[in-house]
Amino acid sequence: MTLQLRPALWALALILVFSLPVMAAPQIVWTDQHDGGATFIDDGFCLLNAPDGHLIVGGESADTVGGSDLFIRKLNRDTGEELWDVRYEGYDGKDVAITEMEWDSAGQLLVSAFIRGCIG
């Protein structure tokens, strides 16, 4: 089935299309790299906007103690400056892996994670 429009409707459609605002290409405002050390793994897997508009990054970061730790950072949305960070170390050198982050109705950050290689 072919869609047929009257000439007046085509003109209206063209006016609507060409009157849409042109979106500018995205620009990088800032970048950030967390380096836990020369040979250590640092990966961000979860991104979340905080209620105040800043960015929460959750992931894993290795340190000299052994194993990868759950690592969460809050970054300033305008400058990329770190506002705070928190690290949760697994026990007995176990790796802790983040799975998800979410805000609850009271404005508290909920983080779900698991310990890799944990049996039982």
Q: pLDDT by residue for the chain (120 residues), tens digit each?
A: 444 545 555 555 555 555 566 678 888 887 777 666 666 778 888 889 999 999 999 888 877 666 788 889 999 999 889 999 998 887 767 788 889 999 999 989 999 988 877 665
Q: Which two tokens stand for residue 51?
A: 């209620």
Distance CA 88, CA 70 (A): 5
Helix (H) or strand (E) holding 11: helix 7-18
Q: For residue 95, which amino acid is it?
A: D
Q: Which two tokens stand for residue 78?
A: 């305008």
SS3 state at 37:
coil
Claim: this prediction has a pTM higher than 0.95:
no
